[in-house]
Amino acid sequence: MNDQTSLGELELLILLALVQLGDRAYGVPIARELALYRGREVALGSIYAVLTRLEERGLVLSMLGDPTPERGGRAKRYFELTREGLRELHRTRRVLTELWRKLPALDPAPALDR
């Protein structure tokens, strides 16, 4: 895997959230999903910046939904994983799994406050 195709942490988490949420996920549910699993919120602007980058790389597609009165007549921008995005998730999983296998046993609760 080269640097251009490797995923950063937030990119990986967003792609996994898209898998979890299914087709036509948009910013707010993605943010909720990330907050649920990370235990802290991620700014919506950061999520959309990453989604734009992922779309430029061909890992996600976006489409506009119908305008809604709740959004002042604006449409939601929905995202879905592409085949290349799914392949990249599988590549990243293989790399991370291999790295974890090669690590020596880790203390399950290292003391961080020393």
Domain count, the chain: 1
Asked whether residue 1 is domain-assigned, the answer is no
Looking at residue 6, what is its pLDDT? 83
Which of 13, 19, 7, 62 minimizes the C-alpha distance to 36? Answer: 13
Could you tell me if 31 and 42 are in contact, meaning their C-beta atoms sit under 8 angstroms apart?
yes
Give the Cα separation of 29 and 68 in Å (integer): 17
- Contact present, 14 and 50 (Cβ < 8 Å): yes
Secondary element (H or E) of residue 31: helix 27-38
In a domain, 104, yes or no: no
Segments in the chain below pLDDT 70: 1-5, 71, 107-114
Q: What is the CATH number of the domain that holds 63?
A: 1.10.10.10
Secondary structure of residue 80 in the 3-state scheme: strand
Round the average pLDDT of the chain to a whole number and report it.
87
What would the two tokens of residue 77 be? Answer: 């921008």
Q: Residue 56's domain spans which residues?
A: 9-94
Residue 49 lies in a domain: yes
